[in-house]
Structure 1
């Protein structure tokens, strides 16, 4: 396989943010004397779009109120962002892409303001010319539209790209777009990622299984 594009999820893939997101949801839910545990977060929240998340949390609430709740939760999340660091190997694979002239893109359900803050905080915003925001499309992950949009922007076929995802919704999205998807062992188990459609499994971007597969440029 000739790799013509590398497509990256953001939260949990390029940066470990699960604890910050969980804290933000629990800050929000506290006003209803409710809380969310990590199991619910991984199964029903991580990687999913806001309408699905808040529809599950507040099924009796008018959907028109979801946007305001989501915006408040995201503000709580950003307020927790301090100095941020990419997961191990991120700079290595971005350097590989530069050396091989392979275009890269971030494909995320995170709001643009969150994505910009995280990428800037890690010092890698300038490494990504393409940023696809699921919430700005007709359908976000787990629908394949975000990844299909990235492929269209880059002018690359699904069979010539690989994607990196850590969530069920993200793996489902990339796999449904026909992309070879690497599941990241950031929060879910290998069997969960494979059941969602991941074809390869790695722990981070230094994993030997990744570099054996892509055959790095010398």
Structure 2
């Protein structure tokens, strides 16, 4: 019997890639770097900020990388106010409720972003815990 379902946030509940793409594009322009979709997919998408920054801006100190990442994530939240859940999510959540299946959210997104996205999606009370 199924007791619980673990949901990933980015790409499962919501497609955040276009918003992350825009935020990275704007941030990298400050360093004179232009980014296209291939660069984003191969060097940024799905990776942690710390790994990305070591890869593409290795000249930054650790403190500068942390400041860059903080600013990039703040920009993401500014741009992400209109996120919509992926098709079928509400039906799946209703099914889990109907069958009394527990739900948890797993993500490598910064906790501030995860909470923000759940709020935008109207899902703050849907997932406990967030891992």
TM (norm. structure 1) is: 0.56
Q: CA deviation at 1:47?
A: 2.2
Q: Secondary structure at the match of 2:119?
A: helix
Alignment map for 1:64-79 (pairs within 5 Å): 64-79=63-78
Residue 8 of structure 1 corresponds to 7
* In the alignment, structure 1 residue 42 sits paired with structure 2 residue 47: no
Q: Which moved more, 1:77-86 or 1:122-131?
A: 77-86
Residue 59 of structure 1 corresponds to 58
Q: Is the 8 A contact 1:9 1:108 kept in 2?
A: yes
* In the alignment, structure 1 residue 87 sits paired with structure 2 residue 86: yes
Q: Secondary structure at the match of 2:104?
A: strand
The whole-number CA distance in structure 1 between the counterparts of 2:40 and 2:99 is 37
Cα offsets for 1:175-195 (capped at 9, x unmatched): xxxxxxxxxxxxxxxxxxxxx
List alignment gaps of at least 5 residues for structure 1: 133-218
The whole-number CA distance in structure 2 between the counterparts of 1:41 and 1:9 is 20
The whole-number CA distance in structure 2 between the counterparts of 1:100 and 1:38 is 41
Cα offsets for 1:88-146 (capped at 9, x unmatched): 011111111112222111111111111111111111111001111xxxxxxxxxxxxxx
The whole-number CA distance in structure 1 between the counterparts of 2:111 and 2:17 is 18
Cα offsets for 1:4-34 (capped at 9, x unmatched): 2211111222111111111101111111110
Q: Secondary structure at the match of 1:125?
A: coil
Deviation above 3 Å: which 4+ runs of structure 1?
Answer: none
Higher relative contact order (CA 8 A, sep 6+): 2
List alignment gaps of at least 5 residues for structure 2: none
Residue 125 of structure 1 corresponds to 124
TM (norm. structure 2) is: 0.90
Q: CA deviation at 1:50?
A: 1.7
Q: CA deviation at 1:43?
A: 2.6
Q: Is the 8 A contact 1:104 1:129 kept in 2?
A: yes
Report which of the two has the higher share of strand: 1
Aligned length: 131
Q: Over aligned residue pairs, what C-alpha RMSD do you find? A: 1.5
Q: CA deviation at 1:83?
A: 2.6
* In the alignment, structure 1 residue 28 sits paired with structure 2 residue 20: no
